[in-house]
Amino acid sequence: MSEQEILIRKEGRAGRITLNRPRALNALTLEMCHAIDAALREWRDDADVSLIMIDAEGERAFCAGGDIQKMYEAGTRGEYGYGRDFWRDEYRMNARLKEFPKPIVSFLHGFVMGGGVGVGCHCSHRIVGETAQIAMPECGIGLVPDVGGSFLLSRAPGRLGEYLGTTGSRMGPADAILCGFADFFVPQDEWPALKARLVSSGDADAVSQAARPAPRPALTGLRQQIDGHFGGETFADIIRSLRTDDSAFARETLTALQRVSPLSAACTVEMIHRVRALPGLRHALEMEYRFTWRAMEHADFIEGIRAAIIDKDRNPRWRHEGPEAVPAAEVARMLMPLGKDKLTFGED
């Protein structure tokens, strides 16, 4: 890892973590995950650190996802261990962020997707600025909303979680707050002053004092249609419901869902339903790992990355022709317990 990919230091009363790959939209590498995890362990019992601040360089993104080039290259050679190690260590870091005993303040701007959600949206004080665009677009690359995304989606109002998780639709700042991916809206030109105050005081209450009312959530006006169409037991149920509706919303949503991996979307709906009944983030991460552990060998992940990132032809050849072609037994197999390979969490 380049020393400049992530900046970790102490300033005043704060431990500071800054993602520093702006030209790569701050895409998260395994080494960056390890660096974040190590910093959290070091600062947990450091009396000089009252809170943690996480932000990112560049104007376009807090973090647009994981750096999956190396994962793809290994997977195409049939070497699945690298990806499994990456997801295991990343998920453990996500859990540490959620359970950290000191306040963690994240500053979310631009694209916040996939791995960026895992870093920025499990913190105790999650700030969004006016440019924030938060999404879980994994079904479009043959994966499922992971890094604890299934947990956040399962707690969103009504059936917004199923909608956002399958379509990959982006949330602006107000929708992110509505759906539980963020807590506070603070205009970005006020961030430098807020950061300086946090560094000097170590008091996370400064965040709520700086917060401003967010605009009206766009998703509020779509709740009735989303809850009506996305309340089915399976992804195929959702598709059938949308096909009975000739509204612009239904047509646009069907178009979006036709682009994603049918297997991934089917598993996403099932995961969100299961996670909704589970008590905490660790349980969601363990569920997600069941899919990602199998993703390269038994799902559409390699093909999804080829079409979106490598060849960029935007024409993935998914394993199934449509949602009705995904057997329930295959969804069940993707989400079966992993036995000795189950995701576990160290207590250090």
Q: What predicted TM-score, i.e. pTM, was given to this entire model?
A: 0.97
For residue 348, pLDDT over 90 is answered with no
For the chain, the domains span 6-138+156-210, 221-341
Query: Does the structure show a pLDDT above 70 at 347?
Result: no
Q: How confident is the model at residue 207 (pLDDT cuts 50, 70, 90)?
A: very high
Q: DSSP of 37-88, one letter per residue?
A: HHHHHHHHT-TT--EEEEEESSSSEEE--B--HHHHHHHHTT--HHHHHHHH
Q: Which residues contact 312 (CB under 8 A, 6 or more apart)?
A: none
Contact 184, 104 (CB under 8 A): no
pLDDT above 70 (res 1)? no
Please report where in the chains the tokens 């005043």 appear, as a residue: 12
In the chain, % helix, strand, coil (3-state, to 5) comes to 50, 10, 35
Query: How far apart are alpha carbons 113 and 311 in whole angstroms?
Result: 21
* Greatest Cα-to-Cα distance within the chain, rounded to the nearest angstrom: 60
The pLDDT score that the predictor gives to residue 189 is 98
The one-character DSSP state at 102 is S
- pLDDT at position 192, please? 98
Please give the Cα distance from 319 to 172 (Å, whole number): 32
DSSP strands (E only) in 166-308: 184-185
Q: In whole angstroms, what is the distance from residue 266 CA to residue 257 CA?
A: 11
- What whole-number percentage of the chain has pLDDT above 70? 99
Q: Hey, which CATH number is domain 6-138+156-210, 3.40.50.10320, 3.90.226.10, 3.30.230.10, 3.10.20.30?
A: 3.90.226.10
pLDDT tens for each residue of 51-76? 999 999 999 999 999 888 888 999 99
| pLDDT above 60 for 196 | yes
Report how far residue 320's alpha carbon sits from residue 322's, in angstroms, rounded to the nearest whole number: 6
| Residues with a known catalytic role | 66, 115, 138, 146
Residue 69 pLDDT:
84
Mean pLDDT along residues 36-63: 98
What confidence tier does 2 reach under pLDDT thresholds 50, 70, 90? low
